[in-house]
Amino acid sequence: MISFFSPSEIVISWSLLDEIGEYFSWLGERVLVVASKKDRSSYLYNEFLGILKKIYEEVIIFWEFEDKIDYDIIDTGVLLAKDGKVDTIVAIGCEEAITIGKAISLFSTNN
């Protein structure tokens, strides 16, 4: 039997920037931010990242991918999460970023 545990919560909100301080402040000290290269120039990404840097002791950014999802990208993200001992994984932007963020969460909490 194969069984996985992923302690995750998915939040989708257009007004998250207004609520982010109170929402994320209790989630630990280190965060991994997952966003594609195309998303990092957006207003939302930059505002969100600025707020996270005020809340978290350490912000690790993973954006080494375009529009393609493969195991190497996920493995790299899992290594970043484990090596960085992150408490929280936040995926911002496109469908690929959200999918990769969920996969990193799943595989970084299971052996």
Contact 90, 101 (CB under 8 A): yes
pLDDT in tens, 90-106: 888 888 888 999 899 88
CA angle 34-36-39, nearest 5°? 105
Q: How confident is the model at residue 42 (pLDDT cuts 50, 70, 90)?
A: confident
Better-predicted residue by pLDDT, 111 or 80: 80
The DSSP secondary-structure symbol of 55 reads H
> pLDDT tier at 48 (50, 70, 90 boundaries)?
confident
Q: Quick one: average pLDDT of 81-96? A: 88
Does pLDDT of 16 surpass 70? no
How far is 75 from 77, CA to CA, in rounded Å? 5
Closest-CA residue to 63 (of 86, 32, 84, 102):
32
